[in-house]
Chains A and B, each alone.
Chain A
Amino acid sequence: MSIEVHHITKTFGRFVALRDVSLKVPRGELVALLGPSGSGKTTLLRIIAGLEVPDPGSGAILFHEEDVARRSVGERKVGFVFQHYALFRHMTVFENVAFGLRVLPRGQRPSRSEVHRRVFDLLRLVQLDTQADRFPSQLSGGQRQRVALARALAVQPKVLLLDEPFGSLDAKVRLELRRWLRRLHDEIHLTSVFVTHDQEEALEVADRVVVMNNGQIEQVGKPDEVFHNPATEFVMNFLGSVNLFHGRVEGGKAYFGPLAVEYPEHDESPASQARVFVRPHDFALMLQPDGGPCFKAKVVRIHSAGPQVKMELSSDFGQRVDVEVPQDRFHSLHLAVGSEVFVSPRRIRVFLEDYSI
Chain B
Amino acid sequence: MSEPTEPRTTEPQRRLTRATTEPLWVRCVLIVVAMVFLGLFLFVPLAAVFAQALAKGVQAYLDSFRDAEALAAIRLTLITAAIAVPLNLIFGLSAAWAIAKFNFYGKNILITLIDLPFAISPVISGLIYVLMFGMRGWFGPWLAEHDIKIIFAVPGIVLATIFVTLPFVARELIPLMQAQGTEEEEAARVLGAGGWEMFRRVTLRNIKWGLLYGIILCNARAMGEFGAVSVVSGHVRGETNTMTLHVEILYNEYNFVAAFAVASLLSILALVTLAAKSFVEWKFRHELTADRAPSI
Direct A–B contact present (CB less than 8 angstroms): yes
Contact string against A for B residues 189-219, beta-carbon threshold 8 Å, 1 for contact and 0 otherwise: 0000000000000000000000000000000
Q: What's the least CB distance linking B237 to chain A, in Å? A: 58
Is A355 in the interface zone, CB < 8 Å from B?
Answer: no
Partner of B6, one of A40, A50, A51: A40
Contact B17 A13 (CB under 8 A): no
| Assembled-state Cα–Cα distance A160/B147 (Å) | 86
Stretch at the interface among B8-16, B47-55, B79-87, B159-167: B8-16
The answer to whether A164 and B2 touch across the interface, beta carbons within 8 angstroms, is yes
User: Once the chains bind, are A167 and B2 in contact (CB under 8 Å)?
Assistant: yes
Question: What string of 1s and 0s marks CB contacts (under 8 Å) between A1-29 and chain B?
Answer: 00000000000111101000000000000
Is B10 touching A15 in the complex (CB atoms < 8 A)? yes
Among B2, B3, B5, the most chain A Cβ lie within 10 Å of the Cβ of B5
In the complex, which residues of chain B have a beta carbon less than 8 angstroms from the beta carbon of A51?
17, 19
Interface size class of B (residues with CB under 8 A): 10 to 19
Is the CB–CB distance between A13 and B11 below 8 Å? yes
Shortest Cβ gap from B1 to chain A (Å): 8
B106 in contact (CB, < 8 A): no
Chain B nearest Cβ from A28, distance in angstroms: 27
For B20, the closest partner residue in chain A by CB is: A51
Residue contact A197 to B3, C-beta cutoff 8 Å: yes
The 8 Å CB contact of B18, one of A17, A72, A168, is A72
Residue of A nearest to B9 (CB): A12
Q: How many residues on A have C-beta within 8 angstroms of the other chain's C-beta atoms?
A: 27
Residue of A nearest to B10 (CB): A13
Does B294 have its Cβ within 8 Å of any Cβ on chain A? Answer: no
**Contacting pair A12 B2 (CB below 8 A):** no
Q: Compute how far the CA of A74 lies from the CA of B17 in the bound complex, rounded to whole angstroms.
A: 13
**Cross-chain contact B8 with A37 (CB below 8 angstroms):** no
Interface residue ranges of B1-37 to A (CB < 8 Å): 1-11, 17-19
- Complex interface: chain A residues within 8 A of B11 (CB): 13
> CA of A42 to CA of B7 in the docked complex: distance in angstroms?
10
Contacting pair A12 B10 (CB below 8 A): yes
Asked if residues B18 and A14 are in contact (CB atoms below 8 Å), the reply is no
- B2 to A197, Cβ gap below 8 A? yes
In the complex, are the beta carbons of B6 and A52 less than 8 A apart?
no
Partner of A164, one of B5, B7, B8, B10: B5
Contact partner, A42, options B1, B6, B18, B19, Cβ 8 Å: B6
Q: How far is the CA of A72 from the CA of B3 in the complex (A)?
A: 29
Question: For residues 71 through 112 of chain A, which have their beta carbon under 8 Å from a beta carbon of chain B?
Answer: 72-74, 83
Q: Which residues of B contact A83 (CB under 8 A)?
A: 2, 5
- Return the contact of A37 from the options B3, B17, B18, B19 (Cβ within 8 A): B3
Q: Which residues of A contact B19 (CB under 8 A)?
A: 50-51, 72-74
* Residue of B whose beta carbon sits closest to that of A43: B6
Assess whether A38 is in contact with B10, with CB atoms less than 8 Å apart: no
Interface residues of B (CB under 8 A from A): 1-11, 17-19
* Contact sample, A vs B, 21 pairs, CB 8 Å cutoff: A12-B10, A14-B10, A15-B6, A15-B10, A37-B3, A37-B4, A37-B6, A41-B5, A42-B5, A43-B8, A50-B18, A50-B19, A51-B17, A51-B19, A52-B17, A72-B19, A74-B19, A83-B5, A167-B3, A168-B2, A197-B2
A sample of 14 more A-B contacts (CB under 8 A), given A41-B6, A53-B17, A72-B18, is: A13-B9, A13-B11, A37-B4, A37-B6, A38-B6, A41-B5, A42-B5, A42-B6, A43-B8, A50-B18, A52-B17, A168-B1, A168-B2, A197-B2
